[in-house]
Amino acid sequence: MDKWIKVSDKMPNDGELVLAYHTYDDKFHNDQHIIISRFEYQDYWMDGTITHWMPCPAPPEDR
């Protein structure tokens, strides 16, 4: 699997499906999650709640 890429270093290509490290740090949440996200210009990519991402792995060959 590829290494995590900092959002400040590089953003995914438009429409790319990626694993994203998503954080909440406000008075209601203090959580971290790894989510599957299709990159589009969205506020949660730009507001710092997603800090790292990596390409999704290929699906299993014997599905």
Q: Tell me the per-residue pLDDT of 7-54, one tens digit each, with 9 for 90 and over.
A: 889 989 888 889 888 877 666 666 777 777 778 766 566 677 788 999
pLDDT at 43: 56
pLDDT at 53: 92
Range of the domain at 47: 7-55
Instruction: Give yes or no for residue 6 having a pLDDT over 90.
Output: yes
With respect to residue 63, please indicate whether it lies within any of the assigned structural domains.
no
Per-residue CA distances from 37 to 27, 28, 61, 62, 63 (Å): 24, 23, 22, 24, 22
Maximum distance among all Cα pairs of the chain, rounded to whole angstroms: 45
With respect to residue 61, please indicate whether it lies within any of the assigned structural domains.
no
With respect to residue 2, please indicate whether it lies within any of the assigned structural domains.
no
pTM: 0.70
pLDDT at 27: 64
Could you tell me which residues come within 8 angstroms of residue 49 by beta carbon, excluding any fewer than 6 positions away? 22, 23, 24
Domain count, the chain: 1
